[in-house]
Amino acid sequence: MAITRTPSLRRLAVRDNGTVVSYEQPAAVAEEEVYTNARLDPKNYLHGPLSDNPSTRLRQMLARPGIVVAPGICDGISARCALEAGFDCLYQSGAATTASRLGQPDLAIATLNDFLGSAEMVCSIDPRVPVIADADTGFGGPAMVGRTVTRYVRAGVAGMHIEDQVQTKRCGHLLGKQVVSREEYLTRIRAAVIARDAIPGGSDFVIIGRTDAAQVLGMEEAIIRLKLAADAGADVCFIEGVKTKELLESTVAALAPKPVLVNVISGGLTPSFTSPEAEAMGAKIIIFSLVSCVAAVHSIRAAMQSLKKTGTDFTSANGMDPKAFFKVMGLDAVVDLDSRAGGSAFKSV
């Protein structure tokens, strides 16, 4: 890993109308620290079988053709269902985690321990499948950001995104957001990168820089922040709340060759792009943050209302008996392990 200083360059940015413009780097950041790490060059991940290490596997997926589709999961049930459906990457949404673990809205209420507990559980279900985890603002200053990285790595998380909202943050698709200064945001990114690179043995953990500045300070500022985050070592750029196809395309062009992540929430600020549409626009990762927990609300509401009205759960069960439910949760694997180890506790289940 090396840090080099480079002089100011003419850069590209995106106006709110989607046009790409050039600008001179502001004097305050005219001499930048540019992160380079030859070991993490995407070219090193182009060939060979997919790794069993989830962070390495995620880097391989980013380096190779095709968009990475990561459905938002909120608990063990939703993670199991996503894996059953054939998804090869999962997204631990901060909003979904806060809702499922605490029954609270996404307003900076959940702590690192809440996020970590969920991540440890999800990553243990299939340790090879990459999990991208929300890390909000890093839960504190640089030391806390570094601690978040090391704890996530130990939990088996493949990558995380860290944003530029103030500590009392909110869901990126709500109004009234506030963001910190560029320098404070870059301090968070640098702290995450330094912590990752300090992990013994050389970690492939993916650092994703997210900005919420588009709705607060405009698209041009959002692009400037993401380019600076990339220079500071962010592996992927996450533009939150991009409002049109044209803005996503111009964002991808302005940030190339850095991969871009787009977040789709039905009814949110970003149109409901399909994954093929997002891929055609140049996005490399698409996440559907609330796909599981919103579906759960609809289904559980209906089941509870039916139970209240009829006095039975027969209709909402839809023919799924306990054994069928436990099969979705990995029953067969547990029974097989017990049998292969010489146990007999689950000969009949």
Residue positions annotated with a catalytic role: 91, 106, 134, 136, 161, 163, 171, 210, 240, 263
3-state secondary structure the chain: CEEEEECCCEEEEECCCCCEEEEECCHHHCCEEEEECHHHCHHHHCCCCCCCCHHHHHHHHHHCCCCEEEEEECCHHHHHHHHHCCCCCEEECHHHHHHHHHCCCCCCCCCHHHHHHHHHHHHHHCCCCCEEEECCCCCCCHHHHHHHHHHHHHHCCCEEEECCECCCCCCCCCCCCCECCHHHHHHHHHHHHHHHHCCCCCCCCEEEEEECCHHHHCHHHHHHHHHHHHHCCCCEEEECCCCCHHHHHHHHHHHCCCCEEEECCCCCCCCCCCHHHHHHCCCCEEEECCHHHHHHHHHHHHHHHHHHHHCCCHHHHCCCCHHHHHHHCCHHHHHHHHHHCCCCCCCCC
Cβ atoms of 240 and 213 closer than 8 Å:
no
Q: Are 211 and 220 in contact (CB under 8 A)?
A: no
What is the distance, to the nearest Å, from the Cα of residue 164 to the centroid of all Cα atoms in its chain? 15
